[in-house]
Amino acid sequence: MRSNVVRGRRRRGVLEALGRDSGVAMMSSILLVLIMASLSMVVLALVMAQTRPTEFARKNTRTIFAAEAGVEAALSQIRSAGGTPDFTGTIYGDLTQLPCSLQGTVADAAGELTYQVQVRYFKDDPAGQSETWLTANKMACKPATQPIYAYITAKGFAETTPRLSATDADRSLSTVYQFNTTNTNIAGGRIYTFGDGYCLRADGLSAGSTITYIPKSECGADDDHELWLYDVDYKLKLAVSTIPGGTALCITGPVTAGGTGEKVKLQPCQTDASRWNQLWSWDTGARWQGQKQDLSNYSGSCLYAGTTSNSAVGNAKLHVGSCASDQPWGSFNPDPAVGAGAASADTIQIVNYLEFGRCFDVTDQQVGKEFMIVYPCKQDPSGGSRLNWNHKWYYSEPATGSSVVENQQIYVKENNADAGKKCLQSPGASGTYVTLVNCSASAPNQQWDRYKDTGNAATSYTFVDYLGRCVGLSEDKYKEAWSKIVVTSCSGEADQKWNAPAQRSDASIGDYVEGARG
């Protein structure tokens, strides 16, 4: 009996203990649920908080990729902006093909990635410059003259998402491209008659070919037969024949010394004593005069049409014989691209770089003329003593290691006499003509600064007056042929460069700068 009572008490104790444990378990479960719910809310909040930054980062990565694609697209257009080959087969850039802006879609991006590109062109390096500077110094697009740098700004865009605005995470990229440039003048131009009525065309491209006066309306269709080069060895060469590997062909005069009235022919250029009948000197009267057989002096015979009648020039053959003076039958107006012959600072001449076959000239050999001109450079194959005085201009070039000689006079000696010294004078008004006057050491308008290589292409190889203006060329022509010399604001253009060598820069890309737009 007692045993049953004891067992009953134990059973109740166990049940009471179980009841107490189940309550604790319930409370623990509820607490765990509450904790998990709280953690879930925290995690959800964290996830929600990171969704926009994640989308921003994803779009940010894609838009810089789109901007890079825009830069590459612009570079591709710039590098492919080539013109037609010249007579040597060389291809130079075509400024009219340079891009100003472009836009596109990144390939394989389903239209979701796009770019917009702006290209601005400069003479001076735009790297690191402010937007104000960029706006003030950019060239017109499309540029009329060769730029040195292209400043490319590309903006990348991607699709809009629910949590990002249209401009959020869009990015831009800027870079500077330096062109592969050379200012080497492209040799080879047409030889027109005085008055521009006709040009000279070779009848063939082989030795023995004659040369014909062709009406100007027919000129320009055949570079191989019409382009000529007046080279440093005083020879007139068919330009296409000077390509490396070929046989240069020269305009060759009389077979025997003193011969006149003969048709000239193209013959292989000679370098020995037999070259005398291939040497031609540009002379007063706009003519090419031959050389004596012993090379001691001019021969007195000139290139002409085989007639002294201007009405009979058309389709005439080029001869050697009578010398003209500013007449179509025996005078010429060669393109500046024909070349300057041997003219340079070494021959006491001043050669223009834009019109690189033209030199400083005392107009009509009259020191009192109201303007000076550039004229086809006169020559003297005999050694220089016979070069006409009106093409000899005296001044000092900077010494080696220096870039400038300041405050010096530029002068000529009329009739090669020291007593005939006349100095170049700058005018008071910009855009007007330089003149020659009696020299005065105290006159500021007779003082000139001569610059060679300054390290800046824009300021190199110039003559600058006391007011900081540069000597250059006017669009005004004397006798509708020869440019007049003026002073104007320094621009860095080729017409303001004198006795300048060719300069070259290789292509490069760099100075990347990123700018975020959102």
pLDDT, tens only, 192-225: 999 999 999 999 999 999 999 999 999 987 889 9
pTM value? 0.70
Give the single-character DSSP code of 123. S
The reply to whether CATH 2.80.10.50 applies to domain 344-501 is yes
Cβ(359)–Cβ(406) under 8 Å? no
Cβ(227)–Cβ(202) under 8 Å? no
The CATH number of 185-339 is 2.80.10.50
Which residue from 461, 376, 319, 388 is spatially nearest to 189, judged by alpha carbons?
Answer: 376
Beta-carbon contacts of 421 under 8 Å, excluding residues fewer than 6 positions away, are 411, 412, 413, 414, 439
pLDDT for res 335:
93
Among the residue ranges 126-130, 188-192, 257-261, the one predicted with the least confidence is: 257-261
Q: What amino acid is encoded at 137 in this protein?
A: N
Which residue from 389, 390, 410 is spatially nearest to 471, judged by alpha carbons?
Answer: 410
Residue 142: cis peptide before it, omega within 30 degrees of 0: yes
What's the mean pLDDT when you consider all of the chain? Answer: 86
Q: Cβ atoms within 10 A of the Cβ of 285, count?
A: 16
DSSP secondary structure string for all residues of 154-176: EEEE----TTS-TTTT-EEEEEE
Average pLDDT value for residue range 220-234: 91
Label residue 423 left, alpha or beta by phi (over 0 means left) and psi (-120 to 50 means alpha): beta
pLDDT for residue 410 is more than 80? yes
Return the domain boundaries, the chain. 54-182+511-516, 185-339, 344-501
pLDDT for residue 237 is more than 50? yes
pLDDT for res 457:
82
pLDDT for residue 108 is more than 60? no
In the chain, what is the straight-line distance between the N-terminal and C-terminal CA atoms, in Å? Answer: 91
pLDDT single digits (tens) 276-329: 999 999 999 999 999 999 999 999 999 999 999 999 999 999 999 999 999 999
Give the percent of the chain with pLDDT over 90. Answer: 59
pLDDT for res 261:
87
